[in-house]
Structure 1
Amino acid sequence: MKENNKIYLPLLLGLVCAAGVLLGSKINFSSSQGLFSSNPKKEKLNRLIDYIDYEYVDYVNTDSIVDITVNRILENLDPHSVYIPSVEYASVTENMKGDFVGIGVSFQSVNDTVVVIQPIKGGPSEKIGIKGGDRILFANDAQLFDKNISNDSLIAQLKGEENTNVTLTVFRKGLKELLRFNIKRSRVPIKSVDAAYMLTNNLGYIKVNRFAESTYREFKESLEKLQQEGATQIAIDLRDNPGGYLSEAINIVDEFLKDGKLILYTKNKKGAMEETHSRRKGKFEDREVFVLINENSASASEIVAGAFQDNDRGTIIGRRSYGKGLVQREMELGDGSAVRLTIARYYTPTGRSIQKPYGEGNEAYFNDYTRRYKNGELRTADSIHVDDSLRYVTPGGKIVYGGGGIIPDIFVPKDTNFEKEHLTYILRSGHLSQFIFEVLEQDRNYYNSLSWDDFQKKEIITDALLANFQSYARRNNFPVKMNVYKPLVRRYLKAVMAQQLFGEDEFQRLINEDDRIIEKVIELSKTI
């Protein structure tokens, strides 16, 4: 059991650690040397670095020493104060910004050739006619095939300054002549709303994967679309959402609360408090809402769930959330790197802190999932430990608890079959995507001609294809017990194929079939 945890849980929990931060306004300490130079303790560290740099017998990369020192300092503060090296800062910022400048394709390298998996919806490549399966041979005069070229170098060729042009030379199967596309690079969205569709005739569903700069805009557009399709109830899926920008979470909550309701408050070490209230007429103030959470819903996700729960608004469904109630602010260090430093704690409207304890060190903190599994709380609500001294009461009389995460109103147990969970992790990995890509490549014209309705009706994942996947899995050292997990594998194969042909909405729609929490939401929606 422990070994299975080690295989795939650190990745997920690492994402919670790295991405689940509540970002306040940015402060630029451009004059940091002037601020700190008079402190003798900080001067001691500067002198030591200088001595090593100029006097040490061997050459030492003092930049790496500084990085190690900064990391060690932050590790001794709390689990969520983190250092972002300059080499990572651009990609981290881009991911949270919600868009990037480029041509707008997802691609992979196949036999030393750049092959388009799918043009990104709304991007310049989709608009100009690039299709899945296209081989990009040249970007301007730069050859992109038959070369040992890294992904970073490829991305550099395809990205660039906004409104600059790049000419792509493309080979498309079935055509004798090469195609040439002149594409103007533009902003391409990195979606934080994975899916928005109707679960029933009146129940809409929105899946949010993180809270980036564009999340509220995406969410509002999705909410309006679903209302036009007849939604009078909404399920907001925040499972595995590690958090992000505080302001985006607040704006989403504001769509559902009447004016003047407390959403959260923060308190810093000096005791200064800052309250945030709902302040405008929302789109869904008088309609039913469900919020889906699990053990990997963190930070901003917990703000949303806590604000709804403490205002007696809607129903929280799933399992106890991660338990991150610390607020970080991003501060630049002057060399392209930055720190996200914990500056305050946040509290839900009833006054509870949901930050779980971290006094036993970072390792114990990030291994909390294993502890939850062992004490049985992923299987039964009765196994969730609560501290009665952290008991709070909502205005409507509901009992809620602080001390570590949001406990849902309706508990849905996790399937703790680790073999199945491990298989699910593998099916979500690049192995399955690569296999499906190869299947599509065998008859691109046929698959590209399918409409979504045709795709749903046809037996796309045949027994022969399943057998091929079983052989593929065996060759790649992850054998699949098809006699036990055949329905699960079939669903994931079809979902990933839908993702490559149609996009994230359709992927999520198929993945959610036979989902316990979704089934519970649908059941509850019919009784309200």
Structure 2
Amino acid sequence: MKIKKIYLPILLATALAIGLLMGSFLNYPTYQGGLVSGSGKNKLNKLIDFIDSEYVDDVDTDSIVDLTVTSILEKLDPHSVYIDKSQMQEVAEDMRGEFGGIGVNFYMFKDTVAVIKPVPGGPSDKVGIKAGDRILFADNYKLYGRDLPLDTLFSKLKGEEGSKVTLTVFRKSENKKFTVNVERGMVPKKSVDAYVMANKNTGYIKVNRFAETTYDEFHEALQSLINSGAKSIVVDLRDNGGGYLEKAVEMADEFLEDGMVIVKTKNKKGRVDETDATDKGIFEQGKLYVLINENSASASEILAGALQDNDRATIVGRRSFGKGLVQREMKLGDGSAVRLTVARYYTPSGRSIQRSYAKGGDAYFNDFQRRFENGELYAADSIKIADTLKYYTRNKRVVYGGGGIIPDVFVPLAGKHGDEGIILIMKSGVVSHFVFGQLDSERNAFNKLTEQQIVKKITATDDYFNLFDTYLLQQGMDFKLKDHKEMVKQYLAAEFVRQLIGEKEYYRLLLLQDNMMKAVLEKAGS
């Protein structure tokens, strides 16, 4: 392929920044007080006043304050961050697990809002909006042909629960335009992407972050899988950047016996708080596996570390990110906030898994590239382990601190060094856009097919494989797909199924291609 290898670590690490932004704080009470008083604060206040009143040109002093706060926090640690008021709503919605809106998944497809699928039972679904519909106007505001920024677009479609909007819709499959009145409702932002039976004995749960609703979603998924006969459970925490500490604790409690330590935290004053499991767990005895990778961070590492140190789960995958700092969100009075590191957390054996950030934030967040270059993503013996950071699990197994959770079963990044770009593309939005375009031209034919018929239609011939190869070339991406034809076909089939049927079916199909799941099923003897 024409994309040079040197850029692969950058491409592969794209999801990490998003995950860590949304998962960079844990659930400590929100602090409402002001900044620390003193001569330093007075000096800053006077400087801002002088600029505001005396400087020769007009200056946005708010922007200066923002830069000052950001600069101060950069001197502390990589996870103490400033969130301006324009970001706060999105961050709050993501962690709350819901927002007010019309309830559709959509793309900007050829400069038009195109519905991938309405949220089942949501506001748009109730008024008859279907997959493939174009939303042309929200009230009298034109949404197509304008290259609108996403924040403007969202502002027209989102809104308070109970508020109303009139949508003008074009349905291509019937070549008709119509209007519908939609009453906005609360739309869930799921943190459990899917849960399925991988086989007759093994249940699988994919968790993308730890939000307010995560434990309830997870408990429902776990109970459903138990009811379906699961004797083994796989919890997938890959690319999960973290979130609320208490949700990771509640999830761990489902698997650990009464009195087992889940996590410890230690603050500036040396106070240590320990959180233990209760007797309320519903899966304390069956086989348990946790999937992690280099983008699993924070609360993901709390959960994985608790289960590993108590010898309750087999950790499968690659070394996790290595974030062991606890943040508290503190309001600044103008709609903005800071997340300030207030403690360190430790696994039950006493491990701190926080990586060093002594070389600065850039080196810290670019650690993925270092791992890529030193071969750690491909071979377990390339992981650098400090013998001085040796700890022992409940059953006296050796584990190590100092930089992430090291898995019990290592699974390399890809089957062969150099395949990373193919895997990345097949999991990216490029595939989703291609599939939507194909469905847009032949949706009526696909709507009549079952899941098995869809898979057969995509994989039985090379037709869609060739169309996708051509599509990539048109997008300026020359990948050598022929060596990966069967894998590409399976990913394409899964995405068709996802857009036509649902997330569960999508994940069930992709698990057949998943090297970590193959390792789990081999170890479990399933």
Where on the TM-score scale, by shorter chain, does this alignment land: which range?
Answer: over 0.9
Q: Which amino acid aligns with 2:94?
A: N
Instruction: Give, in angstroms, the shift of residue 420 of structure 1.
Output: 2.5
Q: What residue in structure 2 maps to residue 19 of structure 1? A: 22
Does residue 1:3 correspond to 2:6, yes or no?
Answer: yes
Instruction: Give, in angstroms, the shift of residue 510 of structure 1.
Output: 2.7
Q: What residue in structure 1 maps to residue 355 of structure 2? A: 356
Instruction: Give, in angstroms, the shift of residue 407 of structure 1.
Output: 1.1
1:344-383 to 2 correspondences below 5 Å: 344-383=343-382
Instruction: Give, in angstroms, the shift of residue 6 of structure 1.
Output: 5.5
SS at match of 2:172: coil
Assess, with a 3 A threshold, how the Cα gap between structure 1 residues 337 and 436 changes in structure 2: closer, same or farther: same
CA distance in 2, matches of 1:10, 1:234: 28
Give yes or no for contact 1:240–1:296 (8 Å, CA) kept in 2.
yes
SS at match of 1:304: helix
Give yes or no for contact 1:4–1:418 (8 Å, CA) kept in 2.
no
Q: What residue in structure 1 maps to residue 189 of structure 2? A: 190
CA deviations on 1:253-278 (whole Å, 9 max, x unpaired) are: 11111111110010001101111111
Instruction: Give, in angstroms, the shift of residue 332 of structure 1.
Output: 1.1
Q: What residue in structure 2 maps to residue 335 of structure 1? A: 334
Q: What residue in structure 2 maps to residue 97 of structure 1? A: 96
SS at match of 2:513: coil
CA distance in 2, matches of 1:392, 1:453: 49
Instruction: Give, in angstroms, the shift of residue 417 of structure 1.
Output: 4.9
CA distance in 2, matches of 1:176, 1:347: 60
Q: What residue in structure 1 maps to residue 286 of structure 2? A: 287
Instruction: Give, in angstroms, the shift of residue 132 of structure 1.
Output: 0.6
SS at match of 2:165: strand
Q: Which amino acid aligns with 2:199?
A: T
Does residue 1:490 correspond to 2:469, yes or no?
Answer: no
Instruction: Give, in angstroms, the shift of residue 79 of structure 1.
Output: 1.0
TM-score, structure 2 normalization? 0.94
Assess, with a 3 A threshold, how the Cα gap between structure 1 residues 123 and 379 changes in structure 2: closer, same or farther: same
CA distance in 1, matches of 2:219, 2:179: 38
Does residue 1:125 correspond to 2:128, yes or no?
Answer: no
CA distance in 1, matches of 2:399, 2:146: 60
Q: What residue in structure 2 maps to residue 138 of structure 1? A: 137
CA distance in 1, matches of 2:125, 2:82: 37
1:141-152 to 2 correspondences below 5 Å: 141-147=140-146, 149-152=148-151
The range that moved more, 126-135 or 99-108, is 126-135
Instruction: Give, in angstroms, the shift of residue 515 of structure 1.
Output: 1.6
Assess, with a 3 A threshold, how the Cα gap between structure 1 residues 148 and 476 changes in structure 2: closer, same or farther: closer
The range that moved more, 431-440 or 457-466, is 457-466
The range that moved more, 300-309 or 58-67, is 58-67
Assess, with a 3 A threshold, how the Cα gap between structure 1 residues 177 and 294 changes in structure 2: closer, same or farther: closer
Instruction: Give, in angstroms, the shift of residue 333 of structure 1.
Output: 0.8
Assess, with a 3 A threshold, how the Cα gap between structure 1 residues 273 and 2 changes in structure 2: closer, same or farther: farther
Instruction: Give, in angstroms, the shift of residue 176 of structure 1.
Output: 5.7
Give yes or no for contact 2:80–2:327 (8 Å, CA) kept in 1.
yes
Instruction: Give, in angstroms, the shift of residue 485 of structure 1.
Output: 2.6
Instruction: Give, in angstroms, the shift of residue 201 of structure 1.
Output: 0.6
Give yes or no for contact 2:9–2:369 (8 Å, CA) kept in 1.
no
The range that moved more, 493-502 or 192-201, is 493-502
Give yes or no for contact 1:123–1:189 (8 Å, CA) kept in 2.
no
Assess, with a 3 A threshold, how the Cα gap between structure 1 residues 148 and 77 changes in structure 2: closer, same or farther: closer
Give yes or no for contact 2:249–2:262 (8 Å, CA) kept in 1.
yes
Q: Which amino acid aligns with 1:17?
A: L
1:70-81 to 2 correspondences below 5 Å: 70-81=69-80
Give yes or no for contact 2:24–2:242 (8 Å, CA) kept in 1.
yes
Give yes or no for contact 1:461–1:493 (8 Å, CA) kept in 2.
no
Give yes or no for contact 1:291–1:317 (8 Å, CA) kept in 2.
yes
Q: Which amino acid aligns with 2:481?
A: M
Does residue 1:154 correspond to 2:153, yes or no?
Answer: yes
Q: What residue in structure 1 maps to residue 432 of structure 2? A: 433
Instruction: Give, in angstroms, the shift of residue 423 of structure 1.
Output: 3.0
Name stretches of at least 5 consecutive residues in structure 2 with no aligned partner: none
1:199-210 to 2 correspondences below 5 Å: 199-210=198-209
Does residue 1:259 correspond to 2:258, yes or no?
Answer: yes
- The total of aligned residue pairs comes to 523
Assess, with a 3 A threshold, how the Cα gap between structure 1 residues 269 and 461 changes in structure 2: closer, same or farther: farther
Give yes or no for contact 2:458–2:493 (8 Å, CA) kept in 1.
no
CA deviations on 1:400-441 (whole Å, 9 max, x unpaired) are: 111111111112222275642123323333322222111001
Name stretches of at least 5 consecutive residues in structure 1 with no aligned partner: none
CA-based RMSD: 2.1
Assess, with a 3 A threshold, how the Cα gap between structure 1 residues 135 and 26 changes in structure 2: closer, same or farther: same
Give yes or no for contact 2:198–2:511 (8 Å, CA) kept in 1.
no
The range that moved more, 339-348 or 367-376, is 367-376
Instruction: Give, in angstroms, the shift of residue 199 of structure 1.
Output: 1.0
Does residue 1:520 correspond to 2:519, yes or no?
Answer: yes
Instruction: Give, in angstroms, the shift of residue 367 of structure 1.
Output: 1.9
1:304-319 to 2 correspondences below 5 Å: 304-319=303-318
Assess, with a 3 A threshold, how the Cα gap between structure 1 residues 404 and 150 changes in structure 2: closer, same or farther: closer
TM-score, structure 1 normalization? 0.94
Assess, with a 3 A threshold, how the Cα gap between structure 1 residues 378 and 10 changes in structure 2: closer, same or farther: closer
SS at match of 1:435: helix
SS at match of 1:443: helix
CA distance in 2, matches of 1:412, 1:470: 28
